[in-house]
Amino acid sequence: MIYRSLGSTCNQPFNALLGPACPNTGFNIQDLSGRKLPGVPDMSFSIGGEVDLMNNENGLLTARLDYIYRGDFYLTVFNNEHEQVAEFDFMNVDLTYQSPDGKWMVDFYVHNIEDKDIVTGAFIGSQSNGGGYNLFLQEPMNGGISIQYNF
């Protein structure tokens, strides 16, 4: 028997090549009242702050810290527990030096400084291809140096 492979709305076993045809069982209507909207967390925010460590004739040295939080949410209107993306938070840090004449700048940064494994979102594939889950992941801890020169 072929199950749903040639008829994504058929909810009974059938064989499209040899018969019988998929029985017309209709759609399953479900009451979704009181459920959360998919992809919408109850709370989401980011906050950041920066302070000038040095601001004089030697240049400008600024430190910045950002905190990002997003609550959990469901992938579909059915609010199934296995379709829930967990809440997460992470921090980024940045240290920037700008020359006194403003011609050049050096920026050191580290993102996701706690090196957390974070799922930021997902989508569910269609029923016709098996309904697999595709996850979106936050980058692991990473950093770099940016050098800027203004001509």
Is the pLDDT confidence value at 11 over 80? no
Tell me the chain's radius of gyration from C-alpha atoms. 26
Q: Residue 118: count other Cβ atoms within 10 Å of its Cβ.
A: 20
- pLDDT of 37-88, one tens digit each? 999 999 999 999 999 999 999 999 999 999 999 999 999 998 999 999 999 9
Is the pLDDT confidence value at 116 over 70? yes
pLDDT of residue 3: 46
Per-residue tokens: 30: 């479900």
| Under 8 Å between Cβ of 106 and 75 | no
pLDDT of residue 14: 62
